[in-house]
Amino acid sequence: MAEDGTFSYVPHIQVREPVDEGHPTCQLRDVLDRVGDKWSVLVMNLLGSGPKRYSALHHAIDGISQRMLTVTLRSLERDGLVHRAVTPSSPPRVDYMLTPVGETLRAPVHALIYWAHQHRDYIATSRLQYDTAQPAE
């Protein structure tokens, strides 16, 4: 039971100032979140070799759901990195391609994927060693 003048619960206390969405660091983080997320990197890498249809992207990216691919493509399109081209036909043909700004990310994305490929065994071994050395919880 709470005494007079005390709370019977702990109220929410704001510990830090609200995030300023207009702050340059926040804007930079927002861009890095988009271009650095695993699905965006894989989609952009595939589109680096030329336009692709949705089904080709879906088949090429192991483990991505249709919903996640759709969300990723829409986000990349919204950010101006991917262009969605609809060709009127029956059924309509939809192709995705990098925009000129998206093209500027081809080399960094390819370099990141190459680095990950070259070091995946090292990272897997390091994780295993780390996990083995940690006490059981």
What is the 3 state secondary structure string of 57-110? HHHHCCCCCHHHHHHHHHHHHHCCCEEEEEECCCCCEEEEEECHHHHCCHHHHH
Query: Looking at residues 71-98, what average pLDDT do you find?
Result: 95
3-class DSSP state of 19: coil
**What domain count does the chain have?**
1
Owning domain of residue 84: 24-133
Distance separating alpha carbons of residues 61 and 65, to the nearest angstrom: 9
Evaluated on CA atoms 93, 98, 99, 100, the torsion sign reads negative
pTM, full prediction: 0.74
Q: Over 50: is that where the pLDDT of 16 sits?
A: no
In a domain, 13, yes or no: no
126: amino acid identity, one letter: S
- Please report which confidence band the pLDDT of residue 68 belongs to, taking 50, 70 and 90 as the band edges: very high
CATH number at residue 74: 1.10.10.10
